[in-house]
Amino acid sequence: MSALQERKYACRVSSTLNRDTKQFGKKFLFDNRDETCWNSDQGSPQWISLEFQDYTSISGFSLQFQGGFAGKECYVETEGSVKVLDFYPEDSNKIQYFYLKERVTVKKVRIAFNSSTDFFGRITIYRLDFYP
């Protein structure tokens, strides 16, 4: 079950490739379509931030990168820049699941990608979801 279903939230991202939000925008992180994705512009770090309208419990999340454009040294932080997880994804197209050490109740959560498997620092993500 998704923590995003039936919840209102706003998403922000660090950048979008060539500022082309129609083709590579943040909305494509959540549309569950294999043909669409968010693609960052070049440079590190990159990040995705969600702000929920109401407090939301989160125990984990999943990401699906495009191989060759995956995050390498990554972390999750909540309000006040409190780091709750360091994680190291595989450079793979498969959906990857990550779990926090303990459930947190937040209004804001941010996933940061300090570096990328891409030489230019680009990140490409087809799916992002959070779990209660």
Rg (CA), the chain: 14
**What integer pLDDT is reported at residue 6 of this predicted model?**
83
**What integer pLDDT is reported at residue 5 of this predicted model?**
86
Q: Please state, in angstroms and rounded to a whole number, the distance separating the CA atoms of residues 100 and 119.
A: 29
What would the mean pLDDT of 19-40 be, rounded to a whole number?
A: 96
Neighbours of 71 (CB within 10 A): 28
Domains and CATH numbers, the chain: 9-131 (2.60.120.260)
pTM for this prediction? 0.95
